[in-house]
Amino acid sequence: MSELIKDIKNGRILKNNGSWMYCVKCNMTVGYLCYSTYQNFQFDFDCKCGNKGSFRLAYKSEQDPVKSNKDLEQVKNRLCCPNDDSPLFTIVDKNIESVKYQITCKHCQTEYSNG
Ligand SMILES: [Zn+2]
Ligand SMILES: [Zn+2]
């Protein structure tokens, strides 16, 4: 298992490498990160309470990710990789104004982002 690189600002995550993500100002959930399916995850949010925060969690990789123009697949509220159906993360839309994300699927090393 390679080392987890982590940088979180104005946010809190329930477990070391995944689970619920919270805004530190109002303590509401802003998202959920699946533990073992990401290589690289970035999530910059504007909370409805006015707080701005960010999460960066990444495992070092020798491989460069392939950028995809495809959208993530939504299964219930979980965003999944369209190549292999890996569940990746959830955005709690009702608690945030906006989010900018980028995620690389560990299984297929494909990178998805929303802008
Ligand atoms: Zn907040
Ligand atoms: Zn994948």
DSSP secondary structure string for all residues of 89-107: EEE-GGGEEEEEEEEEETT
Question: How far, in Å, is the centroid of ligand 2 from the Cα of 111?
Answer: 8
Note the pLDDT tens digit of each residue in 23-59. Answer: 999 999 999 999 999 999 999 999 999 999 999 999 9
Question: How far, in Å, is the centroid of ligand 2 from the Cα of 25?
Answer: 33
State the Cα torsion 17-87-76-71 to the nearest 10°.
110
pTM of structure: 0.95
Task: Write down the pLDDT at residue 61.
Answer: 87
Mean pLDDT of the chain: 96
Residue 6, helix vs strand vs coil: strand
Tokens found for residue 85: 């159906």
The type of residue at 81 is C
Task: Write down the pLDDT at residue 1.
Answer: 60
Question: How far, in Å, is the centroid of ligand 2 from the Cα of 83?
Answer: 5
The closest ligand to the CA of 29 turns out to be: 1
Note the pLDDT tens digit of each residue in 87-105. Answer: 999 999 999 999 999 999 9
Task: Write down the pLDDT at residue 115.
Answer: 77
Contact 41, 58 (CB under 8 A): yes
Tokens found for residue 78: 């979980």
